[in-house]
Chains A and B, each alone.
Chain A
Amino acid sequence: MGHCISMKPSAKMAKLVPLLAVFFYLVCVSEAVFEDQVGKFDWRRQYVGKVLFASFDSPSQSSKKLFVATDKNIFASLNSRTGDLFWRHVDKMGPEGAVDTLLVNAQDALMVIGDGRLLRSWDTNVGGLNWEVVLDTGSFQAACFVGIQDTVKHVAVLKKTAISLHYLSNGHQKWVENLPDSDTVKYQAVYSGGGEEVFVLGMVPHSHLTITVYSLEDGEIIRQRSVEAPWLSSVESSCVVVGRGVLMCVDNYTQALYTLAIQAEDSPQFRQVLLQSLDLEVSQDFQPVLVSTQPHPARSPLPEFFLQLGPDHHILLQLSEDGSTIAPLRDFQPAFLVSFATTGEKTVAAVMAPKNTTACAVNLFSADSGRRLLDTTVIFPLDANGGKPQKLYVHAFLKKDDSVGYRVLVQTEDHALTFIQQPGRVVWTREEALADVVTMEMVDLPLTGTQAELEGEFGKKADGLLPMVMKRLSSQVILLQAWMAHLWKLFYEARKPRSQIKNEVTIETLSRDEFNLQKMMVMVTASGKLFGIDSKSGTILWKHYLENVQPNAAFKLIVQRTTAHFPHPPQCTLLIKDKDTGLATLHVFNPIFGRKSQISLPALPRPILQSLLLPVIDQDYAKCLLLVDDQYKVTAFPSTKNVMQQLQEMASSIFFYLVDSEQGTLSGFRLRKDLSSELIWEVVLPTEVQKIVAVKGKRPSEHVHSQGRVMGDRSVLYKYLNPNLLAVVTESTDTHPERAFVGMFLVDGVTGRIIHEAVQRKARGPIHFVHSENWVVYEYWNTKSRRNEFSVLELFEGTELYNSTVFSSLDRPHLPQVLQQSYIFPSPITTMEATLTEKGITSRHLLVGLPSGAILSLPKMFLDPRRPEVVNEHSREENLIPYAPEMPIRTEWFINYNQTISRLKGIYTAPSGLESTCLVVAYGLDIYQTRVYPSKQFDVLKDDYDYVLISSVLFALFFATMISKRLAEVKLLNRAWR
């Protein structure tokens, strides 16, 4: 890694222009990957998000494709054998790209996107776009295929005020008609049963239902009917079309089913069928749901349908041929999920019922009779750390003996997809919760059993000389055993072909490697599912689903105890705050195994505003976490006597700050001995002018090796390393390009003193910034020049240190010197983070996530406010690059080569045991893990190091010396005899 490609031209130019030589030298510092290194240190996992619509390719056993459209505005095809992606189309974020509906017919997949903005047709074979049309404005209501004589040629799209019909082949609009009385009538459904007519159903809530029939040919209104329905509140949620054009509705209040023949010529009436007359009863507080099936869009739906009466109660009903009577076919209780599937002429119903506490069973039933099909049970294992099943998608096919076989795709509450084959083999599982990672931490792996054994030996108290000797001997024997086993394994595996060796990682085999390059990634997802992922291979080692987590909850993950305190297990705490109530809960777990810790949690009756982790350690080596509630009182966790005593001693030196962006206030508090707090400073940034967007302190784990910078005259410019410094970013409320501005305030978090204030006029967000060491780098949009710009602020104390032993914010009379420089960056960015290493000796790089999905490793050297405009001897001595306003983007600087990361949201960096190496995890829709070497691998041999050559040369030289020594001796002896 880190090889210069353009050596020859650079060498030539170096003679001509020394500055260019410096520049090319810098280029060589950057890293790039050789082809054979692809995937060696890095991996990528691709996700699609929570599935909204799923559909199977064709009803044959050999089909491998599965189509999904998700809440992340993605349309993708999955390989149903492996769960891998065939292809994936990522649309715009937000409501603009939201998938309204997905309709699949043979080779065409139709999607309505962005609340009826676009209609798209995809070729399902290769994932190419057939056509795309822009629909008329108006919010989307429903869509359906329209077919006559068993061929589907059109698609109807119902909007709030209009209905349009499009050709399936090219998307051209056949006709569009305005809906009558669309200001009073809510149109909610469109239906076509294979005839020459298109039915549009609308309603006025609690008054009547309207049926408008359009001619397929020219869009003329054939007839319009209005039916009294005072009980009806929504067509969408309570009505389905069953059999030959019979509208079936269910109403909870009257406890009845209503049927209506919508094709009838004369003015029809709803016919009421009381549920009581069918011996049925709806569970309390449950809105009954109807499920019907239309196997082919050019034919009418089946007369059989499901009625859900309770969370685990379904019933299969059948409408008689003339539409007059409803007969129950089979009662399913308990049954969580039901689904229809059609293959050939057969339609089956799949029903998922609980089997025992750890598994569910899916059975197939014939739809027309309700009889159970033999040998169709599939067992779905319920994961104790997963969610409940939420949706069931069935892929039915005809086997060679004409019986029905099937596979099921189960979606659970935690957004996981599980694909199961008969008789219950889990083919694959996709953890789609990982498409939305909120926060993460990397935790060191524990020592191996043998290492721990040794550690334990030193940890225990001495109990005599002889037992100690025996203990030492026994642990040495264990070490020897482990080593022998390792050797044996090496020898055994060396004989196998390379492809057969499976490097399976399990929790049991996890242990720290010698350079601590392998770590446990603890990821928190928005759905409330926690994951433990091995950073080396990307294998999910544990998962834990937290139920009852609100979708908009705020998370904060804190490592309270690392792996360093054997035998105490490491401990992580997740603070989950409910946005609505403001109440917070704590989830304390072991980050290596994912198990919940049995620790008594503090009661948190009041809303929690913030938390802070103190370096105060209790007798079990867990760091103390303080939780600040809305009365600015503090709760300590753990709150043992030991901790409380330490807290009282230190209370006067514990400060915390809170930023309220709605009020525009920054306030600082000091802890009192009774764990209440006093307000000691407050900064108000008027919200009419500007809004606080973000605030960042420094990472507590950051080490700064050098306390200053060496100047060209060999004096030192000392860095202003204030650990309490905060970077506060504001944006103007006025968005006019001439008046918009961006503010950067550097505030001391203890005293509230504003150390520096930089206002960028004619600039707009979104702001991405990194605050580290003595610098802040931020990126904004320049509205005047219409470009992205980087700005760097660097703080220095000057050539003298004020106090070199102790840093106290309360005793800093002098303000630092601030240097600033700005640069043009040729691309917008999505996120930014700085590399982090163990001791901070390695030079820093900025990892810049670009919207293209690439991560750029930009040397901090380029963002140095001391870059001179005029080069002189001193600046050359310092190796400063002359100032150039344009910042280059070099493709060799992309650390993820062609492994782009869609919708990059965050980058996490962690130090490894090697000073040169920094571990990087980028997450967004995809997750990508790699290592970066900002100053190249100065402390480790390259992996293509030629051990064989070097050792053979060494041995050859050794033997040559031995032989020549012997020869020389003989010769000397002979000469002596002469």
Chain B
Amino acid sequence: MASPGGQGSGALSTRGGVARRMKWALELSLGNTRGRGDRQSNQGDVMYPIGYSDKPVPDTSIQETDKNLVEKRCWDVALGPLKQIPMNLFIMYMSGNTISIFPIMMVCMMAWRPIQALMSMSATFKLLENSNQQWLQGLVYSVGNLLGSALAIYKCQSMGLLPTHSSDWLAFIEPPQRVEIMGGGMVL
């Protein structure tokens, strides 16, 4: 592992005489690469051999035995959207039905998040892969999202943003074609 360094760095120039003399230096100790503070605290310490670390290396092997924990985690993921609904309801209530920038932003967020979640369904399914109840969880997850988007649509509806009335299509009505040609006036 190479540590980047340079002549211009003021931190380097305050180091020991070795660094001052050398054009560049290679530090291979793991501890020294952690950060500046580490490095500074280690100043004047004995140099460790290459590859030596004074901290214990964490155990990264997966414990496949704790199935319950996985299940719990998966349910957490699946129930996430549903849990957000009361919060959304509260925000909806607070923002009111007037059309202004903040309610619109909130509605957009509310509508966009479930859609985004539904679009990245496959990624979520990958998360739930290890669960036994993968399909049920997936279903709950999507139902939660659908509910969220339904809520957003309801909000749009109550704000009058949905083109559900005939007046919303008024601009697209073409003027009717006239069948008869008529003209005339007062006798000149």
Contacts and interface: CB of A to CB of B under 8 A. Distances in A.
B10 to A, nearest CB: 9
A609 to B, nearest CB: 5
A804 B184 contact: no
A554 B188 contact: yes
Interface in B120-164: 160
Given A658-B187, A714-B165, A804-B173, A615 B181 contact: yes
Contacts of A628: 184
Contacts of B178: 723-724, 806-808
Interface string A717-760: 00001011000000000000000000000000110000000000
A710 interface: yes
A695 B160 CA distance: 44
A343 to B, nearest CB: 51
Contact of A659 (B168, B173, B176, B186): B186
A805 B180 contact: no
Interface string A589-615: 000000000000000000011111111
Contacts, number: 132
A654 interface: yes
Interface stretch (A8-16, A296-304, A701-709, A866-874): A701-709
Contacts of B168: 714
Interface residues of B, number: 28
Contacts of A724: 178, 180, 182
B171 interface: yes
A653 interface: yes
A654 B179 CA distance: 9
B56 interface: no
A826 B89 CA distance: 55
A611 B183 CA distance: 8
A704 B188 contact: no
Candidate in B4, B165, B168, B183 with the most chain A CB atoms within 10 angstroms: B183
Nearest to B8: A977
A703 B160 CA distance: 29
Nearest to B171: A706
B177 interface: yes
Contact of A653 (B165, B173, B180): B180
A655 interface: yes
Contacts of B181: 614-615, 650, 653-655
A556 interface: yes
A653 B6 contact: no
B184 A977 contact: no
A704 B11 CA distance: 77
A577 B185 CA distance: 14
Given A803-B176, A977-B4, A977-B8, A608 B188 contact: yes
Candidate in B4, B173, B174 with the most chain A CB atoms within 10 angstroms: B173
Contacts of A575: 188
A711 B170 CA distance: 12
Given A577-B188, A715-B165, A706 B179 contact: no
Contact of B173 (A692, A707, A974): A707
Contact of A613 (B6, B167, B179, B183): B183
Contacts of A635: none
B9 interface: yes
Given A610-B184, A977-B6, A721 B171 contact: no
B173 A656 contact: no
Nearest to B173: A707
Contacts of A626: 183
Contacts of B61: none
A750 B173 CA distance: 25
Contact of B6 (A608, A809, A978): A978
Given A706-B170, A714-B160, A977-B6, A660 B187 contact: yes
B175 A704 contact: yes
A948 interface: no
A808 B182 contact: no
A716 interface: yes
A707 B170 contact: yes
A265 B186 CA distance: 65
Interface residues of A, number: 59
A832 B120 CA distance: 64
Contacts of B63: none
A443 to B, nearest CB: 20
B177 A806 contact: yes
B116 interface: no
A810 B165 CA distance: 31
Contacts of A807: 176-179
B14 interface: no
Contacts of B4: 976-978
Contacts of B182: 612, 654-657, 697, 723-724, 749-750, 809
Contact of A658 (B173, B177, B184): B184
Given A655-B182, A750-B180, A610 B173 contact: no
A653 B178 CA distance: 10
B187 A716 contact: no
Contacts of A977: 4, 6, 8-9
Contacts of A655: 180-182
Interface string A383-396: 00000000000000
Interface string B89-128: 0000000000000000000000000000000000000000
Contacts of B60: none
B55 to A, nearest CB: 25
B19 to A, nearest CB: 14
Given A610-B185, A658-B187, A704-B175, A715 B166 contact: yes
B183 A711 contact: no
A767 B140 CA distance: 73
A806 B9 CA distance: 83
Given A653-B181, A977-B4, A721 B176 contact: yes
A656 B186 CA distance: 11
Interface string A109-135: 000000000000000000000000000
A660 to B, nearest CB: 5
A58 interface: no
Nearest to B168: A714
B186 A710 contact: no
B188 A707 contact: no
A879 interface: no
A806 B176 contact: yes
Nearest to B169: A716
Nearest to A613: B183
A25 B184 CA distance: 42
A556 B167 contact: no
A716 B170 contact: yes
A716 B166 contact: yes
B158 to A, nearest CB: 13
Contact of A695 (B9, B167, B170, B185): B185
A136 to B, nearest CB: 43
A160 to B, nearest CB: 38
A479 to B, nearest CB: 37
Given A708-B170, A804-B176, A806-B177, A656 B184 contact: yes
Nearest to A723: B178
Interface of A: 554, 556, 575, 577, 584, 608-615, 626, 628, 650, 653-661, 692, 694-695, 697, 703-708, 710-711, 714-716, 721, 723-724, 749-750, 799, 801, 803-810, 974, 976-978
18 contacts: A610-B186, A613-B183, A655-B180, A659-B185, A697-B182, A707-B173, A716-B166, A723-B178, A749-B184, A801-B173, A804-B176, A806-B176, A809-B179, A809-B182, A976-B4, A978-B4, A978-B6, A978-B8
Given A575-B188, A810-B180, 12 more contacts: A657-B182, A658-B184, A658-B186, A659-B184, A710-B167, A714-B167, A716-B170, A749-B182, A806-B176, A809-B180, A978-B4, A978-B8
A-B pairs, top 9 by smallest CB distance, nearest first, are A612-B183, A714-B165, A808-B179, A657-B184, A656-B184, A807-B176, A710-B167, A554-B188, A707-B173
